[in-house]
Every structure is written in C-alpha cells, then in structure tokens.
Structure 1
C-alpha cells in the first residue's frame, strides 16, 4: 500500500531516501489467477496497482545526460565558503521528468553523504545533506524562507519576519551540513512583479550565503526569457541568473529507437496475466501519437491502462483498451496533428517496402 508523505519536509524526504525498492509482484498465468480466492485476488490486484504506479524510473537517455551533468557540477563545487558556487537548472516542457531527475540525483547524493559522514555532524546535529522546496504562484521572499525552515522543522518557521526566517534557514543549512538545495517550479517566479523580483534576488543571496549547490527545475524557462531578463535596463541585477546558472535541457522523445527502447523497458515492468512480449512495443507509433513523446503522459496512459485491464479482466494492454482512457489535456489537444504525422510516416514505410 502506498504511504503518503511530502518531500517538502525532512521526514518525508528521509522516507524517500531510505525506503527500499518495492518488491515486484509475481506475474501469474490466467489459470492461476482464476484459482485465487476473492480476498486473495483483491490483495494481489492491489499490489499490482501499487507496482504499476511506482515501478521505478526508466534510465532514459535524457535522465542519464542530466545526471552526468549534475554529478559534474556538484562534484566540482568545492569552493571555500567565501566563493559563490555555480547552480544547475533543469529546463524543459511539462511532463518530461525534470522534477524526478532532480529528486533521484539528490536522493543518491543524500544516501552517500550520510554513509560517508554519519547520521550526525561532529557537533551532534542531525545531518541533512539535501533540502527541497517547491515554489508556488504566490511565493514571496518571506514564504520562500518559511518553506526552507519548515523543511527542517525549525520551531520559528510559523512566525518571524522575512529577515528572521532567512537567518533561521542559514542556521539550519550550516548546522545540518546541507550541501544541495532543490528549488522546484521556479517558473512561478514572475520577474516583472515586485514579489517575483524580490524572490529572484533572494535566490542569489541564498547562493552567496549558503554553502550549497542549488538545483532548480522549471517549465519553459528559456521561452519565458528567464535567463535573458535583466541583462539590460533597470533590472540589471538579474543578469547574474544567466552568468551563474548552467542550463540542462530536457527534450521530449523523438519517434526513433530511443522511443521504442523506452516502450520495451516499460513493457518489462507490466504484471498482467495475458501480457505478451512485444505486444506493447507494437503500439509504439500509436503511443507516440497519444503522448507526443512526453514520458509523463506515457506513464499516465500505461498506468491507467493497467488498472483498467486488471479491473475488467482483460489482463492485457491493447489499442482498443487504451482508446477508452483520457490523459492530460495537452496531449489530447495535440493528438490530431500527431495522428496525421503518424499516417504519413506509415505510408512512407509502406512505400519503401514495395
């Protein structure tokens, strides 16, 4: 059974870092499935639903590339505290796994840091190698500081001015020997508003004062001119963004071998009684038409499809079943255009084979 927790609190983050990988349920044959007693089948189906929703991360080319870049940036940020460290920003369109990439890298870093340094610092404080917060559309300088304090469970997080909360946050980072700070959803920062400008400048202050490597994640930051804003005119203070942040782009999949490889990897994770190797891969054109190469949309479609296949007893994913499932609106809206592209590609293949 899935347990709810928040990665914006140290307890939830610790659960994320320390919980072992799920045990993969056994794949039963259709005959063995029919022999289960009603309660046994209910428990078995529940374990399969949980598995399909959480079967782990596929090591896509995009994930591997971003991870290598993050390892390089973090490992090379060994400057003394009087020097500013460079930051990384994971940028791309929605549904491409940016947050997952940041979280998984930071999780592994957290585990290694505690293994090497111990669960407590030399001064006896809890070692917390990573903190993580997510911005909202109404984040202000004070609420950003408050969110950092709330991650650590600082008793002063409920009250205090922005300046006081900033001091508390600095104390937490120093005492707990934090080395990575994840700031998610930075696209919510409106650099043209008073609060947005204050938050943007405060991120620079945090980078100056905290001995951590910041990893930011956001949607369409280049298109929003997030890095260009402030390079001239009245907002010249924002020029530091482009100078200090290393942009790591996450691209959607193209309709090529990497897409087919992703489908193959997902197919191996399915626990359906009537699933057959290659059946899902045969739908790779259709799956691209439905999702546009966005891994988030693909996982949603497959997960919901598995739930329905188990619930209605078909125990297999087919185009007919997947056609009954709706996913995110962005994918649905652009489906007609991709369907036309798919037909054109199929006709081209058929023509080449004659």
Structure 2
C-alpha cells in the first residue's frame, strides 16, 4: 500500500527565475506582494492543533520570517521620492534629448537594490495600467514582448561587449559571438525601443574598476545609454569613492552631477553633439543612533519589524523596550540587511528551541556570517564589515525534532 504525496503548502513559491531575465522580472513583479504571512495565534491555539497542523504552521512561520516585507525607512523614502519622480517625468518626455539618470549609492546590505526594484515595479504597474498592458510605441504588426523596466546585473569583469550582452540577455535576444561593439550598441538601442523600456537598472555598477581601460570604456558606453530615451538607474556601493564620478562635475544650480559626452554616442545614430549627461546622486544610508530623532526612527523601524514576527511567546515591546534597541543596533550597525538576517536566524532558533521569544541571550548565540554570500563581490564592497563577534553564551536546549513529515518507508506504510 502506498500513500499519496501530501499537497504542497500554498506558501511555497517558485523563485528559480532570476530577475535579470525578463521572465524572472515579470514573475517577481506580479507576485512580489502575493505572499500571505502565517496567522498570529496563541501558544494555547498552537498546542491544540494536531501534530501535522502544527508542523505545517511552523513551516508557514519559517516562510514568513524568510520573506519579511520591505519596510520603508526615512532614508528609503528620500530615494523613493527622487527615483519615482525621475522615472515618471522621463517616461512622459517626447523631446529627443538626453534623460537625466539616477545613481543610488550606499553600503552593502542596505536595501538599495530592493528599494530601486520596488519603485521601478510600482512604476511599471501603473504604466501598464495606463496603456492597458500594450506598448504605446510598438510598430503595427509586431508582437514584441513589453518590458517597461529592464533589470541587469553588471558583469563581475565588465567590458563594453559583455555589458551589452548582459542587457540583451535580459530580453533573451541572440548575441552573435563575432558581433563588433557598434553592432551590439545598435542592438541594445533597438531592444530598448522595441520592448518599450522606460527605465534601465544597472545593479552593482561599482564592479567597474576605473584603473582598467575596459572599465573606462564601459562607463563611457553607459553614458551613451542615456541617449536611448530611458531613465538610467545605476546602483552601487560607495559610488563617490569608486572613481565613477571622476570625470563629472557638480552643478551648483541643480545639485546634479554633469558627465562629459560619450564617444560612443554616434555608434547607434544619435547626435554626437550632446554635451550634458546628468545624474542625480542619492544615498541610501544606514540607521544612526546618535540623536533622539535617530533613535526614534530606529525604534519605529523595529516596531514595524516586530509586527511581522510570528513567535508564540512574543509580547509588545519585544524588540523596542529596555536595552533591546541598543543591542540590535550594536549587532547590526544599523544596516537593515544585517538586522533582517539576525532576526530571521533568531526566529528560527526561537522556534527550534521552543523559547518562542527573541532575547539577548538567544541572539548572542547566533553569529552573523556573510562568508560566501551568493551573487556578491566582496572586492566591490558588496559585503559589509560585520560588527565584532560577541562572546557566545550557552544556547537553549532545542525542542525535539518534529517527525510528522518523515517517510518511514514501504514497510511502515503497509501496516
């Protein structure tokens, strides 16, 4: 006798497609708000459940803590105001002029990518609704995929050709191995236009090293992209210190950075006489803990995070009262990504041990480690320096492992 496989819980989802492919971006954009967190229940209600129901609920809680929502901060709101205004203003421009771009700088794990992607996705939602999901610039009789936003990871070893190919890869466009650079630039310009792209996000742009000739050519190429009637959004760690702005000058009237013209501008038929390519530089900084206003902002963020947790012994003020706000700041240095990692690991430990509560003692036993972080280049500053390790304390005894989902083999099934 064989048993049918139990249905997969509804909170599992397929996230195998990367966002730097059009299909992956579309999947993420459509489903980014679809996750439903586990319901908040009491310890008594959990105890009254059947073993299987408890196990499913614990899995749902783990998924909830692994998918904590993106919370707004005073710093992210500043980025959102600028980026949202720039994308929308540029999208409505009909003049054949260079669109001003945006550079988002900050340390690693500070939420730059997620903030920019969320703003761009919200723009795409509204832009599609405005045009009834049809490309307003499409040529009659064509069926090009519609992509108002393109998200591209800068290659680790960036060269002009590899950067063009990374953009074309987002659209799934073929790239001949022997194509020369002018042909690739023209193909990029054609893809951006044919797919109705209004915003091009180039992430991890500080992987470019300005002491390398190829990287200098790549930056010049990126400036040429600004002539392709898209809002160019560059995201990187410490952009001012990376050398990317070495050739730029600040405009005191606007506060923007003015970049010199690109020698590639003529390659795809655009005017080579354009003299200004402007970028707004905005920083997504970490939290600070020096003034009453900064401490209040940090505590407000912790309160919002606390509302998302699903521990059975949780209580109001678990993260915001006593010494806990200062402790969490010491452990994370105010970096939202490190705080999220610590809270996520802490919640799993609290569930596994049965304590169902976050305390300093429990969190002290959880070291923060970003070694081997996938998709991040430590040499480009994408992995931040971690706070000094705290002395480990004796960890609580773990709750016995739940065996309700174990497969005991055909002999047990036939009994």
After TM superposition, the score normalised by the length of structure 2 is 0.75
Q: Which residue of 1 aligns with 2:342?
A: 301
Q: Would the aligned equivalents of 2:259 and 2:277 in 1 still touch at CA under 8 Å?
A: no
Q: Would the aligned equivalents of 2:330 and 2:387 in 1 still touch at CA under 8 Å?
A: no
In the alignment, the residues of structure 1 paired with residue 315 and residue 340 of structure 2 have an alpha-carbon distance, to the nearest angstrom, of 19
Q: Which residue of 1 aligns with 2:53?
A: 40
Q: Which residue of 1 aligns with 2:147?
A: 128
In the alignment, the residues of structure 1 paired with residue 387 and residue 331 of structure 2 have an alpha-carbon distance, to the nearest angstrom, of 10
Residues 1:50 and 2:69 aligned together = no
Partner secondary structure for residue 275 of structure 1: coil
1:24 CA drift (Å): 2.0
Higher helix share: 1
Partner secondary structure for residue 240 of structure 2: coil
Q: Which residue of 2 aligns with 1:280?
A: 319
Q: Which residue of 1 aligns with 2:357?
A: 316
How many pairs does the alignment contain?
330
1:327 CA drift (Å): 1.4
Residues 1:87 and 2:101 aligned together = yes
Partner secondary structure for residue 244 of structure 1: strand
One of 4, 25, 28 as aligned partner of 1:13: 25
Q: Which runs of 4+ in 1 moved over 6 A?
A: none
Q: Which residue of 2 aligns with 1:217?
A: 235
Residues 1:257 and 2:296 aligned together = yes
Q: Which residue of 2 aligns with 1:110?
A: 124
Task: Please give the root-mean-square deviation of Cα atoms over the aligned residues, in Å.
Answer: 2.2
Q: Deviations over 1:315-345 (max 9, x none)?
A: 1111111111111465544468xxxxxxxxx
Q: Which residue of 2 aligns with 1:352?
A: none
Partner secondary structure for residue 222 of structure 1: helix
One of 146, 149, 160 as aligned partner of 2:168: 149
Which has the higher Rg, Structure 1 or Structure 2?
A: 2
Q: Deviations over 1:255-314 (max 9, x none)?
A: 111001111010000011110010111210100011111111101100111111112211
Structure 2 CA distance for partners of 1:7 and 1:74, relative to 1, 3 Å: same
Q: Which residue of 2 aligns with 1:266?
A: 305
Q: Which residue of 2 aligns with 1:3?
A: 14
Structure 2 gap segments, 5+ residues each: 1-11, 250-257, 263-275, 290-294, 371-383, 391-415
Residues 1:245 and 2:286 aligned together = no
Structure 2 CA distance for partners of 1:104 and 1:290, relative to 1, 3 Å: same
Q: Would the aligned equivalents of 2:109 and 2:336 in 1 still touch at CA under 8 Å?
A: yes
In the alignment, the residues of structure 1 paired with residue 124 and residue 18 of structure 2 have an alpha-carbon distance, to the nearest angstrom, of 16
Q: Would the aligned equivalents of 1:150 and 1:157 in 2 still touch at CA under 8 Å?
A: no
Partner secondary structure for residue 102 of structure 2: strand
In the alignment, the residues of structure 1 paired with residue 75 and residue 389 of structure 2 have an alpha-carbon distance, to the nearest angstrom, of 23
In the alignment, the residues of structure 1 paired with residue 284 and residue 126 of structure 2 have an alpha-carbon distance, to the nearest angstrom, of 25
Structure 1 gap segments, 5+ residues each: 232-236, 337-354
